[in-house]
């Protein structure tokens, strides 16, 4: 049988199909195990049920085959291995069902005959069973559509929540950007103020040096005049 479901690989939709396939596969296996113990109409009904389960398994395999193409390459190896195992199991079940269905003596019991005219009642029963099978397949398809719709709604809700979070993050980033621009304005003003202070300090130094020079010259002039 196939390996257990590996939740580390595969999309949610693929895993959903895979889980449903396992349920159908278990039901099919159970029916195939019961058929050898039956004969006549019960055996025929069991074979029809197994055929419907096999058809449903084929449908799920088709959906899984399409969905696994959307799985990232890094995870697709495990998924492909599981999928091949499922195909092998399904083919084995198909061969077993064909073998059981070909056993006409067990299928028809004491009513088995090579006379084609004796199959009128069986034909009507077959039509009713086919109608019931079609109804069951329609119900199962409806259930799968509902499940897919529910998953789509959930995905949409997650997307809306993600968009809301992205909008909040964008607002915060914009606020940080505005704060940064305001801080940059303050820095520019501070730089201008420091430059003005530096110019004033340079001017004051020049004035101070000039005053000191004048005082020194005056002192020299006074001393020279006194001792002349």
197-218 tens-digit pLDDT: 888 888 988 999 999 999 999 8
For the chain, give the mean pLDDT: 81
- Cα dist from 7 to 21, 57, 63, 78, whole Å: 15, 21, 18, 10
May I ask the CATH class of domain 12-112?
mainly alpha
95 contact partners, CB below 8 Å, separation of at least 6: none
- Please determine, for residue 111, whether its predicted confidence score (pLDDT) is greater than 70: no
Give the separation between CA 69 and CA 65, rounded to whole angstroms.
Answer: 7
Cα–Cα nearest to 24, from 143, 104, 183 = 143
- What is the predicted pLDDT for the residue at 30? 92
Give the separation between CA 173 and CA 166, rounded to whole angstroms.
Answer: 10
- What is the predicted pLDDT for the residue at 88? 95
Give the separation between CA 50 and CA 56, rounded to whole angstroms.
Answer: 10
The owner of tokens 């069951």 is 136
Of 67-71, 139-143, 166-170, give the lowest mean pLDDT range: 139-143
Confidence of residue 109 (pLDDT cuts 50, 70, 90): low
Ranges of each domain in the chain: 12-112
- What is the predicted pLDDT for the residue at 4? 42
- What is the predicted pLDDT for the residue at 52? 93
The owner of tokens 């195909």 is 87
Give the separation between CA 67 and CA 181, rounded to whole angstroms.
Answer: 49
Give the separation between CA 6 and CA 54, rounded to whole angstroms.
Answer: 23
What pLDDT digit, counting tens, does each position of 7-46 carry?
444 578 889 999 999 999 999 999 999 988 888 888 888 8
Give the separation between CA 14 and CA 20, rounded to whole angstroms.
Answer: 10
Cα–Cα nearest to 61, from 38, 37, 28 = 28
pTM value is 0.46
- What is the predicted pLDDT for the residue at 82? 92
Cα–Cα nearest to 13, from 197, 144, 200 = 144
């Amino acid at each position: 049988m196939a390996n257990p479901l590996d939740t580390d690989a595969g999309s949610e939709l693929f895993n959903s199909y895979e889980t449903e396939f396992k349920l159908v596969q278990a039901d099919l296996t159970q029916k195939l195990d019961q058929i050898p113990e039956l004969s006549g109409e019960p055996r025929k009904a069991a074979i029809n049920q197994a055929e419907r389960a096999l058809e449903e398994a084929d449908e799920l395999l088709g959906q899984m085959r399409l969905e696994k193409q959307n799985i990232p390459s890094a995870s697709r190896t495990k998924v492909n291995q599981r999928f091949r195992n499922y195909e092998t199991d399904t083919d084995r079940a198909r061969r077993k069902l064909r073998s059981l269905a070909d056993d006409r003596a067990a299928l028809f019991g004491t009513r088995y005959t090579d006379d084609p005219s004796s199959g009128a009642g069986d034909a009507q029963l077959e039509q009713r069973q086919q109608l019931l099978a079609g109804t069951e397949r329609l119900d199962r398809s409806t259930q799968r559509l509902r499940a897919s719709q529910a998953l789509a709604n959930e995905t949409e809700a997650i997307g809306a929540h993600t968009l809301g979070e992205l909008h909040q993050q964008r607002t915060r980033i914009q606020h940080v950007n505005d704060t940064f621009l305001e801080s940059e304005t303050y820095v520019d003003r501070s730089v201008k103020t420091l430059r003005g202070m530096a110019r004033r300090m340079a001017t004051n130094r020049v004035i101070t040096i000039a005053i000191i020079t004048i005082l020194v010259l005056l002192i020299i002039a006074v001393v020279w005049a006194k001792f002349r």
